[in-house]
Structure formats: structure tokens, C-alpha cells
Structure 1
Amino acid sequence: EYGIIGKVPGHCIGELGDTDRPVLLYLHGGAFVLPAAPPVHGAAVADLCHALNSSGFLLDYRLAPLNRFPAALDDCEQAYRALLERGFPAERIMLAGESAGANLLLGLLQRIRKAGLPMPCGAAAVSPATEMGRIHAPPSRARLRLRDPILPAAALHRIDPLYAGGEDASNPELSPLYMDCHDLPPIYLLATDGEILADDTLLLAARMHAAGVELRVDLWPALPHAFPLFGAVFPEAREARRDIVAFFRDTLERATQ
């Protein structure tokens, strides 16, 4: 059902009053300008929550261009704080998101650290956009510009100004590629070798590895951007969701021991 957590609305999966269960905070993609698509995002989040025996909150953050950066990230931070205030222990909170939502996820981790809040048990970022200032880079954006059927390179020329506006896009909250990678929870990065954001993932993974982050990285072959959403189309999407579930089961078990 659609509800409000703190001051942020969104789609609620399961019973968010049961703080003894884990909860998945999911940040949807859509180029920062499109709302969540319940038949797609809602179904994927419900599938993950069912497998994890958890509740879930599919955040309905404010959208550009009416609400530019940092409005969406502010909403994400507010939703995380609201879950803590409801009584969910941080070690039972899971973060996940795809594309623009994965960008927001990485920004949210920076906000959590900066505020001195307890970190979630883990975070899964699917096909994150990590560089918002250079349309031509990282290199996979030019190399694969004709191969990605979900996110064409031309779209990036419109997304960045619509969302970032006049903000300095080297700000790590906008471009997580440049974030301080220390003191983060376990991270699962997932992308494909056929999407223009492949190097957005791999370059950030290299920086996280150098900073000692507990990290898993999967680069799938010959699949489109954010493919785990499309379980009805790709058998690999269902396998990728099982991998995400296994990652969270492991982090939950270790965080609550």
C-alpha cells in the first residue's frame, strides 16, 4: 500500500510496524525525473522482500526538474532516519537501488556517515551512475554508446542538467565516483558489460577496494542496463535477484550476531 514514513511517501511492502523483521529501503531509478513504476519496481522489491522475509519501503522521492539536487537525496536521508526512529535497528536495514537510485544510495551512505548515524547492514547498487559532470566519460559511455538499449548516451546530455542544474557536479553526493570510500558497510555492485555505465561501476569498485571496503562486484555479459528489474523478460534477472538476496542474508546474519 502507499503510505508515509516520517515525512516521505512511498510504497510499503509488508508491515512496517514490525521492527523485529528486517526492512529493505529501495531507491528506484528513472533518470531522476521518472517515478517508480509499481508493476516493475514494486514487483521486484516485493520479490526481494518475500525471499528475505522482510518488509520494504519503495521511496517516492521528489523528482527533477521541478525539484533539483539535493531534494531527492534529502528525501532518501529523511526516509532512512524515519526507519531508525520507528525502531528498526540499523543492522536490520538493507539499502538497494538501481541506476539513478543507485546514485542516490551512494549519496545516502555519505550522508549517513557524515551525520554519525549507524550504517545499514549492507547496500546493493545496480548499474549506478557515478559520474554526473563528464558526459563523455568514463570510457564505456563512448565505447558502448550504440549498444545500450535502455540508457542511450544521448539521454545523459539531458539528465545531468535537469537533475544537477547549476550545482558543481564534482560534488561526491552528485558524482559518487569521487566519494571518500572509507567506513562504508558491505557493498554489492552489479552491472553489465554492455551498458554505457559499466565503467561507472568498475572505477568506483576499484576505489572502494583500495579503501578496504568489503565488496562484491558482478559484471554480467550481454544484458541491458538495470536488467535485474526485468524478471519477466530475462531469466538472468531472477538469478541476479537471488544473488542480491544471498548477499543480504549473509550481511544480516553477520550484523546481528
Structure 2
Amino acid sequence: MASVKQEYISLPLRLKTSDGVIGRLQNIYFISSCVITTVAKYYWYGPVVKAWDLRFHVITNILHRYLSESLPHDTPNKLSEKIDFAYIADYIDMNNLPARPLSPSIGHNEEYDIIVDAELCTAYELPQYGISGDKLNAMADDDRISAQKGQPRTISCQVVVGSQVSLCNSCKVPAGMHKQPKLMVPEPLYPDERIFFHFHGGAYCVGERSLTHIYVYAHTSSVSGLRVFSPNYRLAPRSCFPSQLHDCFLSYMDILRRGFKPENIILSGDSAGGALAVALLIILRDMHLPRPAGVVLISPWVDSTCSGASWATKMSLDYLPSFPLEDPFHPTRMFYAAGRRFSQEMLEELRCPLVSPIFGDLSNMPPMLIQMGRNELLHDDISEFAEKTKLHAENVVKLEAYDNMPHAFVLLDFTDAAQQAFASVNNFAREVFDGEKRMYN
């Protein structure tokens, strides 16, 4: 019997759907109208927050408009199954900022491939996490079978060195000022090399190879003198949960296999990447696997149900828009199960600690630095997560709230708050590494 072809609904999309001239003009109009409106409101009504200058307003308003209007968020929940999310994934990819290499004055970045061989695909011993644990094991099995057939999957990973770093004793100029191949190898440059291992944010849908994120890595590297590694995990809605977490787990295990010692690694993540970092820590703890020396979380999206009151009270202060979970284009929906209707059953699944770490056992975590903006929608979720972690903490848990700042404010690296946050990350890393035995066993 011939299979029935899936019929999809037509959606009103505001950004380009092809790379032609018309599509580019659509995006130019979209952005320019936002800039003109923002400038007019700024000079007519004044800044929304006194500490924000015009540049800050323009950038955050473009982000807000892109996130709130690029997809039709008024689409009913009942139409979820009739949306072509493969097409939506292409549309999102097409309208992302193009990836570019860092300029030499900022740093240098290169990619390498992680080969997902059978040895890397260990089984997940996580029966306590029900459906989520089962999904992870199914992915591990698929990767293992592919590897055994001689068709292993690969995961690309960024390695970034800031322009102020010189790890090569024979180098007479900073590493980022020229291409120094030795500094970009994905193995330790010396036996006890310390690194940051970072999971990027982007609501699980964007952020891969983002120049904005790579700038953050370069600044972190320059301030700390350490290299930064960051895997390009699969993105939603093309790949749903637990693809991202599985890729992050494999990437971390690969970095250990390459010779980096867990006591020399600071795990970090921003936004969705922060949630992935905590979920990874939970897996490593529960499976008795080597854990990193410390963790840095920047505006971590630890509750995918978005239950905190600040999702309503901070709406006028953050560039992030707030949508109901009934919206098929809510980032949570596209990440967890694109095309599946929202229901009470799904809500319960979203409360799994591997999806929303705030609902899990947060005991026995490594030393932790959490940074957030006081103006961000995730404020209350992050505050509650920090309190729960402190309640069961055996190590240092520090929460920093930056005045007047929105979500993942370090991406706005020109702000004083971002520079203070980078310096604080460096101080935290030094405390973790220099006082390692005292802080973490």
C-alpha cells in the first residue's frame, strides 16, 4: 500500500525563505524598520533603562523583534502536527547570522571533528530518568551500530584562543595575532593544560558557529590565558531532545580521551548551554564518571517549562519574548518534540532533570559560578536553581546578578557588565584550580 503523503499547512513567514534578491530585501526591510523605530523612540521617549545607551537599545530591539516575529507564534497548538519542521529548520538556518572566522586582533578559531566510534558510545545507566534515559540509550545504540558498520558519525568542535594568549614558548607574538597551528590542536599542549569546555546557547535552535559566541570564547580565553573548546551539537527543530545532550556527553568524553584531565577542566555554558552543562553533570555524577573541576553557568535555562514569575514581570526589560507552551514554535516545544501537540503528559516529561535540571537532585555538584542579569525573564528560575543547589552544596556555589542586564548579557561584550563578568569567570577558575583539593573532592 502506498504511504499517505503528509500535508503541511502554509505559514506566514516574515524573513527570507530563499537566498534570492527579494529574500535579502525582506531582511533588510525587517532590520532597518526596527532600527528606525528604535532610534525614534529612544530620542522621543528616552531610554527604557537609564543605563542603556542607543547601541544597546538597537541591538536588543533587533533581537527581540527577530525572536518574537520571525515565526508565527499565534499558530494554534492543534496544528502542531501539520507544520513542516524540516522546512522551519532550513528557514532558521537561512536567517541566522553567517559564521565568520575571528579577526586576528580578537583571536583565532578552528574546528576539528570528533569521530563517534563504538568505544565512545557507552551505554547510559540512567533508568531513573525513564523516557529521557531510554531516548539517550537509543541514540547511543544507533551511533554504535553505525560505527560498527564503518559509518561513524562526526561532531565538529571549536577550539578558540584569544589574541592575548601565548601558550607556545617559542612564540614571540600573541597567539591570536597569527595562525599558530600548534595552539589549535585538540590535544593537551602540555600534561596539565587547563581549559574551558563550553556549551553554547541559542534556545537549542541557533548558536552553532555563531561569531557572537566565538567572541565570548575569545574574550574568556584572553582574560584567563586558557583555550576554550566548544562542540557544535545538533540543533532543533531538525534534531530534538536528547540529541543535544548526547552530543555534549560524547564531546566531553572525547576531550578526556584526548588526554585532558577532568581536574583541569572548567565546564561552562550560556542559556540552553547552561542547562546542557548541568544535565551533563547529573549524568556524570549518577554514572560515577570523571567530573570537571568546576562549572560556570551564564543565564542558564534550567527550567524548560518557564514557570518562574519573572517570565511575566520582566517582559518589558529583556530582549527575550515570552510565549505560552501551547505555541508550537515555543523554543521548548521545538527542542523537545517538534510537531507534537502540547499536553499535560508533555509537561510532566519536561520536568525530567535531564530536560529541566531545576527539578532534579542537585547534590554533590562541583564548585559553581552562576551569572545572570537582573532584568532577564529567567531571573526567578535561575535564583531558585541557585538556592536549591546551595541547599545541597558540598562546594562553593556563587550567584552573581548584574544590574540592568538582560539574558546572556555577556554576548553584549561591549558593556562594562560583560567585562566584569569575564573577569569574575577568570577569578573563579583560578580559585577552583589553585584551591582544587580544598574545594572539590
For this structure pair, what is the TM-score category when the shorter chain's length is used for normalisation? over 0.9
Q: Tell me how far 1:125 sits from its aligned partner.
A: 0.5
Q: Does 1:11 align with 2:181?
A: no
| AA at the equivalent of 2:321 | P
Q: Paired residue for 2:404?
A: 222
Q: Tell me how far 1:115 sits from its aligned partner.
A: 2.1
Q: Is the 8 A contact 1:91 1:256 kept in 2?
A: no
Q: Tell me how far 1:50 sits from its aligned partner.
A: 2.7
| AA at the equivalent of 2:235 | L
Q: Does 1:154 align with 2:329?
A: no
Q: Paired residue for 2:215?
A: 43
Q: Tell me how far 1:37 sits from its aligned partner.
A: 4.6
Equivalent residue for 1:72, pick from 244, 247, 251: 244
Q: Tell me how far 1:179 sits from its aligned partner.
A: 1.6
Measure, in 2, the Cα distance between the counterparts of 1:183 and 1:99: 22
Measure, in 2, the Cα distance between the counterparts of 1:191 and 1:80: 25
For residues 192-237 of structure 1, the C-alpha deviation after alignment (integer angstroms, 9 at most, x for no partner) is 11000001110001101110242010011111110112212x1210
Q: Is the 8 A contact 1:99 1:126 kept in 2?
A: yes
Measure, in 1, the Cα distance between the counterparts of 2:115 and 2:220: 23
Q: Paired residue for 2:420?
A: 239
Measure, in 2, the Cα distance between the counterparts of 1:80 and 1:256: 22
Q: Paired residue for 2:140?
A: none
Measure, in 2, the Cα distance between the counterparts of 1:99 and 1:155: 19
Q: Is the 8 A contact 1:6 1:79 kept in 2?
A: no
Q: Is the 8 A contact 1:188 1:216 kept in 2?
A: yes
Range with greater deviation from structure 2 (98-107 or 165-174): 165-174
Measure, in 1, the Cα distance between the counterparts of 2:273 and 2:212: 14
Q: Tell me how far 1:38 sits from its aligned partner.
A: 3.8
Q: Does 1:143 align with 2:143?
A: no
| AA at the equivalent of 1:226 | A
C-alpha RMSD over aligned residues = 1.8
| AA at the equivalent of 2:113 | I
For residues 3-48 of structure 1, the C-alpha deviation after alignment (integer angstroms, 9 at most, x for no partner) is 1234321211244322531121111111100133542111211221
Q: Does 1:188 align with 2:369?
A: yes
Q: Is the 8 A contact 1:146 1:152 kept in 2?
A: no
Measure, in 2, the Cα distance between the counterparts of 1:74 and 1:107: 10
TM-score by length of 1: 0.92
- Which structure has the highest strand share of the two? 1
Measure, in 1, the Cα distance between the counterparts of 2:224 and 2:114: 21
Q: Does 1:206 align with 2:387?
A: yes
**Partner SS state of residue 277, structure 2:** helix
Q: Tell me how far 1:91 sits from its aligned partner.
A: 0.4
Measure, in 2, the Cα distance between the counterparts of 1:256 and 1:25: 21
Identical amino acids, percent of aligned pairs? 27
After the TM superposition, which residues 94-173 of structure 1 pair with which residues of structure 2 at under 5 Å, given as runs?
Answer: 94-133=266-305, 135=306, 137-149=307-319, 151-154=320-323, 157=327, 158-165=330-337, 168-173=349-354
Q: Is the 8 A contact 1:92 1:256 kept in 2?
A: no
| AA at the equivalent of 2:156 | P
Q: Tell me how far 1:256 sits from its aligned partner.
A: 6.8
TM-score by length of 2: 0.55
**Partner SS state of residue 202, structure 1:** helix
Q: Is the 8 A contact 1:42 1:58 kept in 2?
A: no
Q: Paired residue for 1:250?
A: 431
Q: Work out which structure has the larger RCO, using CA pairs closer than 8 Å and 6 or more positions apart in sequence.
A: 1
| AA at the equivalent of 1:4 | D
For residues 75-124 of structure 1, the C-alpha deviation after alignment (integer angstroms, 9 at most, x for no partner) is 11011101111111100011111111111111111111122111101001
After the TM superposition, which residues 20-99 of structure 1 pair with which residues of structure 2 at under 5 Å, given as runs?
Answer: 20-99=192-271
Q: Is the 8 A contact 1:24 1:56 kept in 2?
A: yes
Q: Is the 8 A contact 2:207 2:213 kept in 1?
A: no
**Partner SS state of residue 153, structure 1:** coil
| AA at the equivalent of 1:146 | S
Structure 2: segments with no counterpart, 5+ residues: 1-109, 117-154, 161-182, 341-345
Structure 1 residues 6 and 116, CA, compared in 2 at 3 Å: closer, same or farther?
farther
Q: Give the paired residue count.
A: 253
Structure 1: segments with no counterpart, 5+ residues: none
**Partner SS state of residue 156, structure 2:** strand
